[in-house]
Amino acid sequence: MPGEYLNIARQWKAGDRIEMSVPMNLRTEALAGSADRVAVFYGPALLYGQLGVAPGKELLKDNPTSGGEDQIVAALSTKGRSVEQWVMREPGKGLKFRMRGVGLKEEVELVPFYEQTGRRYVVYWQVRREE
């Protein structure tokens, strides 16, 4: 069942194998207690939005979150569409996605969080629930 561990009780012997299939599709999950803030996942992988560095600033090696003024991200305008309609996989780029048509000034690249390396990023997105 979703949200539970898988328990396998058996006597194991050499050569035993377990194969598991994890559905890899796009989905959103709301922040607890805030239905208008969502995170985007591809299967079990949390995707973050790369914001980069504030214009004209460089990241400092000893403090990768510094380097300029905070970049404000506007609320996403999804117009009730499913996540597959506004997050697209980038062909030939592994698990990189692009957020399109949600009212932002620029398209935002989405990347698995485990690849986050010293860049400004967003995990939870404010979503306007207009029709």
Residue whose C-alpha is closest to residue 99's, from 85, 112, 120, 113? 85
Assess whether pLDDT exceeds 70 at residue 73: no
Total of domains in the chain: 1
In this structure, is residue 17 part of a structural domain? no
Alpha-carbon distance of 30 to 12, in angstroms, equals: 39
Q: How much is the mean pLDDT over the chain?
A: 81
Confidence at residue 69, expressed as pLDDT on a 0 to 100 scale: 46
Query: Residue 5 corresponds to which tokens in the numbers above?
Result: 């561990």
In this structure, is residue 7 part of a structural domain? no
In this structure, is residue 11 part of a structural domain? no
In this structure, is residue 83 part of a structural domain? yes
In this structure, is residue 98 part of a structural domain? yes
Residue 52's beta-bridge partner residues? 120
Please give the residue range of the domain that contains residue 99: 26-128
Q: Residue 113: pLDDT band by 50, 70, 90 thresholds? A: very high
In this structure, is residue 2 part of a structural domain? no
